[in-house]
Amino acid sequence: MGRPTKHYNAPWSVVPWFEGRALWSEQNADRDALAHDIGRFVAALSARPTDNGPAPGTHNFGRGLPLQQRDEPTRTALRRATDIIPVRALEQIWDRALAATPAPTGTWIHGDLHGGNLIINAGRLGAVIDWGGLGVGDPACDLAFAWYELGANQRAVFREQTGADDEAWTRARGWALSVAAIQLPYYRNRNPDMERLARRTLAAVLEPDA
C-alpha cells in the first residue's frame, strides 16, 4: 500500500497480475459456467466473518446501504430518461424493491461487481479485481450482478449458488435498476460502453425470472 504524497495525492497499491481479459471485452466467456462461478464467489464472500468491517459510506458510493436511501436519486434519474425507457414499469419494480424486507444483517460485499472487474481466463472466471468498494452491507448489492451480465436462465443458476431468498432477490433487482437508472442519463451521449450497459441492465430488470 502506498500513501498519498505531493507527487500523487491518492492512496495507491501494487497488486498481482492476473492473466486474462475483463468480461466486458471477452467474447468467449462461458456465461453458464460464469453464473455458477460468480454465485459461489458471492456466497463465499458473504459468509466471511464481518468483525471490524467498514460500513457502506463515501468510500464505496454507499453500495450496500438500504435502498430507501437511493429513492430520490433513482426516481429523478428515471424521470430524466422518460423518452427512452418504460419509466412506469420500472417504477413499479422499484416500489416492490423498496417494500422488500431489509437485510437482517450486513455481509461482506465487493460493492462493484460488474463485467469490468471480472477477469476471464480460458473462458472461466480467473479473478475478481478492484476491491476499493469492499464493505459490510446489504448483500443484495452484489446480487445485482445477475442483471448486469446474465440471461434469465443464468440468473436462476446464479441465485441457486448464492442461496438468495425472495426478499434479497427483490432488493437485488432494485439495486440493479437503481445503479443502471442513475448511470443512463449520466453517461448518455458521453460514454457509449456505459450507456449500453445501463440500457442492457434495465432491459434485463424488466424480464421475468426463469
Neighbouring-strand partners of residue 135: 109
Q: What is the pLDDT of residue 58?
A: 85
Q: What is the pLDDT of residue 193?
A: 85
Neighbouring-strand partners of residue 86: none
Q: What pTM did the predictor assign? A: 0.92
Closest CA relative to residue 45, chosen from 107, 103, 104: 107
SS3 209: coil
Q: What is the pLDDT of residue 32?
A: 95
Dihedral, CA of residue 83, residue 85, residue 88 and residue 89, to nearest 10: 160
Strands 124-128 and 118-121: antiparallel
Q: What is the pLDDT of residue 9?
A: 93
Distance CA 205, CA 173 (A): 6
Distance CA 25, CA 56 (A): 29
| Residue type for position 136 | V
Alpha helices in the chain (DSSP H): 31-46, 71-80, 87-99, 140-143, 145-149, 152-162, 166-187, 192-206
The tens-digit pLDDT sequence of the chain (210 residues) is: 899 999 999 989 898 999 999 999 888 899 999 999 999 999 999 999 999 999 998 889 899 999 999 999 999 999 999 999 999 999 999 999 999 999 999 999 999 999 999 999 999 999 999 998 999 999 999 999 999 999 999 999 999 999 999 999 999 999 999 999 999 999 999 999 889 999 999 999 999 998
Distance CA 101, CA 167 (A): 6
Q: What are the cell numbers at 149?
A: 451480465
Neighbouring-strand partners of residue 12: 2
Q: What is the pLDDT of residue 186?
A: 92
Structural domain boundaries of the chain? 27-206
| Residue type for position 196 | R
**Superfamily classification of domain 27-206:** Aminoglycoside phosphotransferase (APH), C-terminal lobe (3.90.1200.10)
Alpha helices in 47-165 (DSSP H): 71-80, 87-99, 140-143, 145-149, 152-162
